[in-house]
Chains A and B, each alone.
Chain A
Amino acid sequence: MNPKTKSRLGWTVVTVLVLGYSLFPVAAIFATSFKTPGDLGNQTFLPTSWTWQNYEMIFVGDAQGLFLSALRNSIGIALIATFIAVVLATLCAYAIARLDFPGKRIILGAALAVSIFPVISVVTPLFNLWRTIGLYDTWPGLIIPYLSLTLPISIWTLSAFFRQIPWDLEQAAQVDGATQWQAFRKAIVPLAAPGVFTTAILAFFIAWNDFVYGISLTSTEAARPVPAALAFFTGASQFEEPTGAISAAAIVVTIPVVVLVLLFQRRIVSGLTQGAVKG
């Protein structure tokens, strides 16, 4: 065996190992989601017969009221929280990258401080405040606290992105006769857009992942997001276990994440390493 094939073989083994590491638990819950109730207790990896019944339960069966509303809440709340965070962060990061003003460090420092904040510490006062002003168990009641998760990472990631934009291009374009707005749109927007988009993905992941706010600040299908709803699934009676339904729902909410990762892995990696902050 020559060294080249040997190294190729080695890399294949390593790749398989990494793939196994990353995907095995997902594969396990995927397999579980196709098990019949009888198979759930049989201690095997694969179902003995594959069934869609767990998916039927959450989409058209008993659990649909719980799951579909949670899915809608999760998508809506996470998207809105992401959108607001990205808009605010874009303005903020633009100022940080482009302008010189006192307090810049304070803003970045605040973003950092907020990102290390234990969510559980703010949940009780928020719960108390929300119930007095009527935001408890509503969409805004989750969107607002979600900003504490999505804003810091957005500011950091975008500041890093914006610093790398050659803003001189804007001037160059203006010299070539474009108006300021044209110059901004033609020269800067195409450069900034990928960064904004990447930031949006990262912020969405974080909002999508939230659990503590989700279980503490909601109590019905009106606003309960998916991670919180997963803990609410039930079997056929209140004493029977919902393993199948949970697994199916878990797979459903993992699909968007996997799709985003598949499509944008390069961007996500660069965004993560530039911002160097995780919510």
Chain B
Amino acid sequence: MSTAAVPATKRGVKAGKPVKSQRTKAEARLGWMLAGPAFVVMLAVTAYPIAQATFDSLFSYRLTTPDEREFIFLDNYLLLFSDWTFWRAFLVTLLITLVTVAIELVLGFALALVMHRALKALRGALRTAILVPYAIITVVSAFAWYFMFDINSGFVNNWFSWVPGISADLDWFGNTWTALSIIMAAEIWKTTPFIALLLLAGLAQVPGELVEAAKVDGATRSQQFTRVIIPNMKAAIMVAVLFRALDAFRIFDSVFVMTGGDQNTEVLALLAYRQSISRLEIGLGSAVSVVLFACVLLMCFIAVKLFKVDLASGTDQSQAKAKKGGAEQ
């Protein structure tokens, strides 16, 4: 996240002038000419399909019996909301989201602090290491975790057989809770670095003088942390949490690879996939997709309205500051 250090742009200085000249018009045209293609492409690859999905979700439509396609209005949704399979997938998705984000926040904070305070010589190594889980393919990470715990090929049962409850006979993927734990562990491992990096950027924004002042005032370490550092990082924390939560809610790859939804570990994205891609029930699958999309929108809406998360803080805020700075010059 950039800070007030961003120099005022030339345009920023002029933007305040209220003259609607030929030039502004030309600028607007140029702006849309440059930005337009990207904008159109983004809309074309998402807005059109989701509209189509919404339309399809009103039909009973199976790909292998195209002649029996039939308009059934909201029946697909009624079926979803009256079926425990859907609610179970919903709850599992919610659980995974809550647990992983909570743990990642704590773990991510620890990692961010480590990176923040680390000796210069170590920083490079730490950052490199932490980027590996971030950049690795999710499917690869899922296989890695799967092979580690798999009752047939994994070494975990062998290594940890001294822990009560773990023995050579423990089938991690044969039981809902153990399977979910591994899925969540893999997700946490893979995405904590992302949160840690965002928090690191947040930490860098906390004014050092404030911490020093607190120290002088005799604040303990934990007081410095809870009273000074965290309040000053609130924006960064909220953005990190929201992005991760939205991401976690769409979880698919790890579950697909590790259990395929068995042992009641099915998540919403997998449910949508199974209905439309495996069963070829386009109508029903589209309904699940639309519901999933609505959930994500709702989460976003709640965050923005209720918690006042400023998603645009990365750019617009600094722009505002830059503008302000420019105007004062």
In-complex A–B contact (CB below 8 Å): yes
Q: Which label, helix, strand, loop or mixed, suits the secondary structure of the B interface?
A: helix
Q: If A212-B252, A250-B143 touch, does A269 touch B127 (CB 8 Å cutoff)? A: yes
Interface status of B261 (Cβ within 8 A of chain A):
no
Interface status of B296 (Cβ within 8 A of chain A):
yes
Interface status of B282 (Cβ within 8 A of chain A):
yes
Interface status of B212 (Cβ within 8 A of chain A):
no
Contact of A26 among B14, B136, B312 (CB under 8 A): B136
Rounded to whole Å, the gap between the CB of B247 and the closest CB of chain A is 7
6 A-B residue pairings within 8 Å (CB atoms): A26-B144, A44-B155, A110-B43, A118-B289, A127-B277, A274-B314
Tell me the B residues contacting A by CB distance below 8 Å. Answer: 1-2, 6-7, 9-11, 14-15, 24, 27-28, 30-35, 37-39, 41-43, 45-46, 48-50, 52-53, 56, 111, 114, 118-119, 122, 124-141, 143-145, 147-148, 152-155, 157-159, 168, 186, 189, 193-194, 197-198, 200-201, 239, 243, 246-247, 249-250, 252-253, 256-257, 269, 272-273, 276-277, 282, 285-286, 289-290, 292-293, 296, 300, 311-316, 318-319, 322
B137/A227 in contact, CB under 8 A: yes
Please provide the chain A residues from 244 to 278 with a CB less than 8 Å away from any CB of chain B in the complex.
246-247, 250, 253-254, 257-258, 260-262, 265-266, 268-269, 272-278
Interface status of A133 (Cβ within 8 A of chain B):
no
Q: Once bound together, how far apart are the Cα atoms of A164 and B7, in whole Å? A: 7
A43/B34 in contact, CB under 8 A: no
Which chain A positions have C-beta within 8 A of B197? 269, 272-273
B122/A11 in contact, CB under 8 A: yes
Interface status of A192 (Cβ within 8 A of chain B):
no
A122/B315 in contact, CB under 8 A: no
Q: A56-64, A155-163, A181-189: which lies at the B interface?
A: A155-163
Interface status of A234 (Cβ within 8 A of chain B):
no
Q: How many residues of chain A are within 8 Å of chain B by beta carbon?
A: 107
Given contacts A99-B31, A246-B143, A268-B135, 18 further A-B contacts (CB under 8 A): A11-B118, A14-B118, A22-B129, A28-B148, A92-B37, A98-B11, A120-B272, A122-B49, A124-B277, A125-B52, A151-B41, A205-B134, A208-B137, A209-B137, A211-B138, A226-B137, A227-B253, A260-B135
Nearest chain A residue, comparing its CB with the CB of B282: A124
Please provide the chain A residues from 118 to 168 with a CB less than 8 Å away from any CB of chain B in the complex.
118-129, 144-145, 147-148, 151-152, 155-156, 159-160, 163-164, 166-168
B56/A163 in contact, CB under 8 A: no
Rounded to whole Å, the gap between the CB of A192 and the closest CB of chain B is 14
